[in-house]
């Protein structure tokens, strides 16, 4: 079967190649891949900056944002052939640590976890994959191709859970205004969940026009383009999705009293920024502000993400997926166009090939 693989650490090593059928040790459920979402992590891996192949192997099958259809499932496992399924990315560390031992592998304490398509385990970007029932989520068939947004949405469902947990230290904490920085897929999904919570949502991004501002407005949220300096807002919650040092510093400084800033973006290390850390200290102390980082997701967050995607406007979700690229044109999926939001690798064409398909 065909798979999209890379040699971790080697820039430009991505290729489609023939690989063996998925081993039964990957899990009892056999899945036919429908689509794989591509994100910044995949681009970093393809550029050789990140990623670890399984032990004893040189190449890594890419793909952690999965959507597939069950081909075979062990009786009584909760899945049936034909079910639409999303695979969870992380697997608990083998020790396991206190977090992994209770199913909170997203909060792993020893860093020995593995991740499909990222760290020490093959990903889902092959024509078929296998998975353990306990690391899979069945989706409402109505979701269709939008199910490929489940994994990125799960990361935001966790971020919102963190905001609630940290906000809970304040009596009568009732946030009203949320600022989301970054209008890529992660920021837009953060904004979607903010709107679904009935909050006043503001989204900031550098771009001034195009698809991103339109997507924010379609949600009923407010879009702010250009510079954060012009933004007069004292949010109760900030969901930071750019990972850009200057933005992180700026938003952490402008949080309102008892506010929570949740960082979800990753900045490349080594970029130094000349900032007034004492000022940041003053703002956080004097406002009882909180800064919290959040990564990955566990089963609970995937379920919350599925609920959010099911509730979302189908047309809006359709606009979020800006390009669907067949596996044979994988290089097109691994480059970014200026107006891209979510790019998806389409596996539905199989060996027949063919041009890009529109999302259904
Ligand atoms: Zn991703
Ligand atoms: Zn762990």
Q: How far apart are CA 29 and CA 52, in angstroms?
A: 24
Q: How far is CA 83 from each of CA 125, 158, 266, rounded to the nearest angstrom?
A: 18, 25, 34
Which ligand number lies closest to the CA of residue 156? 1
Q: 41: CA distance to ligand 1 center in Å?
A: 6
In this structure, are residues 114 and 36 in contact, taking their beta carbons and an 8 Å threshold? no
Ligand nearest to the CA of 155: 1
Identify the architecture of domain 154-293 in CATH. Answer: 3-Layer(aba) Sandwich (3.40)
**What does the pLDDT read at residue 297?**
98
Distance 59 CA to ligand 1 centre (A): 19
For tokens 């009584």, name the residue: 76
List of residues 6+ apart from 282 with CB closer than 8 A: none
pLDDT at residue 293, as a whole number = 97
Give the distance (Å) from ligand 1 centre to CA of residue 152: 6
Residue 266 confidence (pLDDT): 85
Separation CA 60–CA 248 (nearest Å) = 32
Residue 102 CA to ligand 2 centre (angstroms): 9
DSSP classification of residue 229: G
How remote is the CA of residue 340 from the centroid of ligand 2, in Å?
35
CA 109 to ligand 2 center in whole angstroms:
5
| Å from CA of 170 to ligand 1 middle | 32
Ligand 2 centroid, distance to 355 Cα (angstroms): 42
Radius of gyration of the chain (CA): 20
| DSSP structure string for 112-140 | --EEETTBEE--S-BSEEEE-GGGEEEE-
Give the burial class of 65: count Cβ atoms within 10 A of its Cβ; 0-12 exposed, 13-18 middle, 19 or more buried. Answer: buried
Low-confidence ranges of the chain (pLDDT < 50): 351-360
d(CA 5, CA 27): 20
Q: Compute the distance from residue 110 Cα to the ligand 2 centre, in Å.
A: 5
pTM: 0.94
Residue 225 CA, ligand 1 centroid: distance in Å: 24
Helices first, then strands: H and E counts in the chain:
10, 19
In angstroms, the CA 331 to CA 24 distance is: 30
DSSP lists the bridge partners of residue 29 as 131
Q: What is the pLDDT of residue 350?
A: 55
Backbone angles phi, psi at 65, to 5 degrees: -100, 95
Of the candidates 177, 106, 122, which has an alpha carbon nearest to the alpha carbon of residue 4? 122
For the chain, give every domain's residue range: 2-139+320-352, 154-293
Q: Which CATH fold would you assign to the domain 2-139+320-352?
A: Quinone Oxidoreductase; Chain A, domain 1 (3.90.180)
pLDDT at 358: 43
């Amino acid at each position: 079967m065909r798979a999209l693989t890379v040699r971790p650490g080697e820039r430009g090593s991505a290729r489609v190649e023939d690989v063996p059928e998925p081993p039964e040790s990957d899990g009892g459920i056999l899945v036919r891949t429908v689509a794989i979402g591509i994100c910044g992590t995949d681009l970093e891996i393809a550029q050789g900056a990140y990623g670890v192949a399984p032990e004893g192997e040189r190449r890594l099958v890419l793909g952690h944002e999965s959507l597939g259809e069950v081909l075979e499932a062990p009786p009584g496992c909760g899945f049936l052939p034909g079910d639409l399924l999303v695979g969870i990315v992380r697997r608990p560390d083998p020790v396991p640590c206190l977090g992994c031992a209770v199913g909170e592998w997203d909060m792993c304490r020893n860093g020995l976890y593995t991740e499909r398509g990222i760290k020490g385990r093959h990903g889902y970007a092959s024509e078929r994959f296998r998975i353990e029932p306990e690391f899979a989520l069945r989706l409402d068939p109505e979701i269709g191709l939008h199910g490929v947004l489940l994994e990125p949405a799960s990361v935001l469902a966790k971020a919102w859970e963190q905001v609630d947990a940290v906000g809970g230290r304040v009596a009568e904490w009732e946030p009203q205004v949320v600022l989301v920085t970054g209008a890529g897929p992660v920021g837009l999904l953060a904004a979607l969940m903010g709107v679904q919570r009935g909050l006043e949502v503001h989204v900031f991004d550098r771009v001034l026009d195009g698809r991103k501002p339109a997507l924010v407005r379609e949600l009923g949220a407010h879009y702010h383009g250009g510079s954060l300096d012009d933004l007069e807002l004292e949010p109760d919650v900030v969901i930071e999705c750019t990972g850009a040092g200057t933005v992180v510093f700026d938003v952490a400084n402008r949080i309102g009293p008892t506010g929570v800033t949740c960082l979800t973006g990753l900045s490349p290390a080594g970029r130094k920024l000349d900032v007034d850390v004492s000022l940041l200290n003053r703002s956080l102390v004097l406002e009882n502000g909180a800064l919290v980082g959040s990564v990955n997701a566990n089963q609970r967050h995937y379920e919350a993400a599925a609920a959010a995607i099911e509730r979302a406007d189908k047309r809006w979700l359709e606009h979020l997926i800006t390009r669907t690229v067949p596996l044979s044109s994988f290089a097109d999926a691994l480059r970014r166009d200026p107006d891209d939001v979510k790019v998806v690798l389409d596996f539905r064409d199989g060996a027949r090939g063919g041009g890009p398909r529109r999302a259904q």
